[in-house]
Amino acid sequence: MKTPGKQRVERMAIKTILMVDDDRDFVEAVSSFLESNGYRVVRAYDGREGLRLAKMEQPDLILMDIVMSERTEGFFAVQELRRVPGLSTVPIFVVSSLYQSLPDFRIPPESEWLSHDEFFAKPVDLSVFLDKIRGRIGDGAGNRSTDAGASPP
């Protein structure tokens, strides 16, 4: 029996985020932050490893640096991910320091040459970053509160 106004928590699978970046310190710092917020983080340190892990892990979200060991490595990794069945619709957040060297540089999400969902400049504002992640894939622990007594819209 449902009690009006009571909250119930639905358990879903823990959300997995794949982080692809060659800056190991940045990866560890952001990964620790995301893990402390309930997400499972898989780490890759170059585009090739990121593609391999994406196919194997089927993450809920991908965080991708653009300039790694090769200047365009992230661009090509994003393009390749969009061609892989099962990964083509996974949200991709580009996280890059391009804004530091090119402050007027912008890549709109609808850009055909880089099919991503969000673009974040390094250093990342972690509270905004976490809000965007939660808005896209939900709570890291896989919990979603619903009003058990509410009628459907």
Q: Does residue 25 carry a pLDDT above 90?
A: yes
Q: Does residue 100 carry a pLDDT above 90?
A: no
Q: Does residue 5 carry a pLDDT above 80?
A: no
Which tops the pLDDT comparison, 119 or 153? 119
Which pLDDT tens digit goes with each residue over 44-83?
999 999 999 999 999 999 999 987 777 667 778 888 998 9
**pLDDT band at residue 43 under the 50/70/90 scheme:** very high
Q: Once rounded to an integer, what is the mean pLDDT over residues 94-102?
A: 66
**pLDDT band at residue 145 under the 50/70/90 scheme:** very low
Residues whose CB falls within 8 Å of the CB of residue 153, separated by 6 or more in sequence, listed in order:
none
pLDDT of residue 33: 97
Q: Does residue 35 carry a pLDDT above 70?
A: yes
- pTM as predicted: 0.76
